[in-house]
Amino acid sequence: MAKDVVIRDVNYDDVPFVKIPIQNSDEEAYFWDTSDATLTNGSQMLAGYSGYGAGGVKVDGSIPAKSSSDLTASGATVTVPAGNYAQQATKSVPSGSAAPAASISATGATVTPGTNTLKLSKSVSNTPQVSAGYVSSGTAGNSNVELTASVPTKAAATITPTTSNQEIAAGTYLTGKQTIAGDANLVGSRIVAPYSIFGVQGTAQLPVISQDSTDHSLSIS
């Protein structure tokens, strides 16, 4: 099933699969759209085989292979175990005959229904338990002195770099530690060339994407 996809703001229509080169090999890996797959569980496929259902989830088959040797007979009843029979399976059942009895007599029986009643009951008593306790009272007095600051202050904070400058105004009194956040990902291999971030020159290269004009498949290299 083909899908319209967008990669790096470029539209690609009717893409059935994507080809990506395999590292240290001349071969390519294929990634197919399986959103229209109907396979959901192993009971829909033979054991020893596997496939991919919707969303690309791998499913291992669990239907066992069966043959005539798996059939069993008890009297005139043949039991056929669940599974897949690649060929016709048969089971021979011996035939027989029986002579009727010379005479049959019946003796009547009387059945009197009886009533058996079992009643279970449980009485539960819930009595709240209350005990006396001691609660202290009283508060200590405080004397408050109000001060008016004559300079701007800034409490402890962590400053995380963004796309614009962040400034602490001149004359600000720092009442707490100011931390400038760092990031272990700030390395050249994680920044796309030819851009640089905070003086770190990027070396990562973007993949080249092309679409086949005939089958609309995507190739990424």
Query: What is the structure's pLDDT at 200?
Result: 94
Query: What is the structure's pLDDT at 148?
Result: 53
Query: What is the structure's pLDDT at 125?
Result: 47
| Listed range (27-31, 85-89, 108-112, 190-194) with the worst mean pLDDT | 108-112
Residue 186 CB neighbour total at 10 angstroms: 13
Task: Kindly report the pTM of this predicted structure.
Answer: 0.41
Query: What is the structure's pLDDT at 32?
Result: 86
CB-CB contact of 51 with 45 (8 Å): yes
Query: What is the structure's pLDDT at 56?
Result: 85
Query: What is the structure's pLDDT at 61?
Result: 92
Angle in degrees, CA 189, 193, 197, rounded to 5: 75
Taking only the tens place, the pLDDT of each residue in 146-186 is 555 467 888 999 999 999 999 999 888 888 999 999 999 99
pLDDT grade for 216, boundaries at 50, 70 and 90: confident
Query: What is the structure's pLDDT at 181?
Result: 92
For residues 86-108, give the mean pLDDT. 65
- 133 against 48, higher pLDDT: 48
Mapped onto helix, strand or coil, the DSSP state of residue 55 is helix
